[in-house]
Amino acid sequence: MSTSVMVIGAGPAGLQAASTLSHLGFDVTLVEQQDYLGGAVARHQYQVLMPDFSSGPELLSRLIERVDNDSHITVYTGTQVEEVSESHDIFTIKLSGANQKTLQSQAVVLATGFDHFNPARDGKYGYGLFPDVITGAELEEMFAKGPIRRPSNGEIPQSVAFIYCVGSRDRQVGNTYCSRVCCAVSAKQAIELREQLPKARISMFYMDVRTYGLWEDTLYWRSQEEAGVVYVKGRIAEVTEQHGRPVLKGEDTLVRGPFEWPFDLVVLAAGMEPSGGTREMADKFQVSLESHGFIKQAGAIHNASLTDHPGVFVAGAASGPKAIEDSISEGDVASLAVFEYLKAKVTL
């Protein structure tokens, strides 16, 4: 009998896990609730990826082709996990949606990812109120669709502000963690914007710049050196509007003190939260969440993919904010952990 493993969620982490599990000899079912594959990268049509400015569509087609061309992987899109039961270490999983079946799996990888923090939940940014205040994900969609214009009037923006840490590092909204990628993604986006807007003022309003590791000079320094981006240390307290332009209010904590500063376009670096699907699957598969609501990595630092439920593994942003490269690596880590777990039970 072949051994089957279910991967839930087909973002970068889930796609990688499905393919690696198949290489390791398992039959894989990849379940995705949307009717497309690729997770956040597909949803927001990321064109150019942080950190190396490689192509988002190319990455996706590589990940997706491998899955599509693999006879040991069955892909169910538009499909949800309805019900889970378990006996003798075998999960019986009832699917609903486009594929209404009941399957058995010996192990499960949760790759259910993140949702963007919805900035409308924090009234001070005027998101949803002022049309020229958009999220970083919406900026990615704008890059994909065509030239950057002000949503309010279709004009070319002469000034663009990025507001860091929206929905992250903030007890008021309940998210006290750092979302890890938004500093670097914002720097990448500013560099891209510069190509389209050679004369615009581009300002970053930050509390700390966390372009950690190799991203420090390749993104943070480069955005200043090559793209003339200006960094202002002061977290934005409030966005208002005057004469049809968003106005940023804050304290320049290092240099100039109080400011009220109008911009044509304001980009909110909205953070990452555990997705609804992540919470739901944690509940159905009875795995614990850590204190911020992500899936708890019960193996702590020795194995990122172990949950506290034997046979259930986790990969990618479902266990905390992380970049695509880390999510993909975790797809592999989870596959190897599945291998180790199952090899004791069955002969492959």
Partner 1 sequence: MSEEAVVTHHLRLDPEDVGEQDAESLLDAIKSDLRYEEVIHGCLNCGVCSGSCPSHRFFDYSPRIVVQTVLSGDAQAVKDMMDEYIWACAQCYTCAMRCPFHNSPGGLVMIMREVAVWRGMEAVHRLLKPYGRVLLKVLSIGNQLTPDMIQPDFFPDWGPKIPWSSTDLAIKRKAIPVYTLQVTTSAWRVSPETSYELYTIYEETGVFRLIEQIDPNLYEVVSDMVEDLRDMIESSR
Ligand X SMILES: Cc1cc2nc3c(=O)[nH]c(=O)nc-3n(C[C@H](O)[C@H](O)[C@H](O)COP(=O)(O)OP(=O)(O)OC[C@H]3O[C@@H](n4cnc5c(N)ncnc54)[C@H](O)[C@@H]3O)c2cc1C
Going by C-alpha positions, the residue among 159, 144, 186, 168 that lies closest to residue 42 is 144
* Residues in contact with partner 1, shown as a per-residue x/- string from 76 to 115 under the rule CB under 8 A: ----------------------------------------
Ordered strands of the 257-262 beta sheet: 238-242, 245-252, 257-262
Measured from the CB atom, is 318 or 342 closer to ligand X? 318
Q: Which of residues 172-211 bind ligand SF4 (CB under 6 A)?
A: 178-180, 182-183, 208, 210
Q: Is 320 in the site for ligand X (CB under 6 A)?
A: no
Cβ burial, residue 306 (10 Å; 0-12/13-18/19+): buried
d(CA 204, CA 62) in angstroms, rounded, equals 33
- In three-state secondary structure terms, 18 is helix
Measured from the CB atom, is 94 or 121 closer to ligand SF4? 121
Going by C-alpha positions, the residue among 173, 163, 172, 158 that lies closest to residue 134 is 163
Q: Which stretch binds ligand SF4 (CB under 6 A): 97-105, 110-118, 163-171, 292-300?
A: 163-171
CB of 233 to partner 1, least distance (A): 8
d(CA 253, CA 320) in angstroms, rounded, equals 30
d(CA 308, CA 69) in angstroms, rounded, equals 33
* Residues in contact with partner 1, shown as a per-residue x/- string from 110 to 129 under the rule CB under 8 A: --------------x-----
Binding site for partner 1 (CB under 8 A): 124, 165, 169-172, 207, 233-238, 249-253, 257-258, 260
Binding site for ligand X (CB under 6 A): 8-14, 31-34, 39-41, 46, 49-50, 80-81, 111-114, 116, 136-137, 140, 181, 185, 272, 275, 277, 280-281, 316-318, 322-325, 327
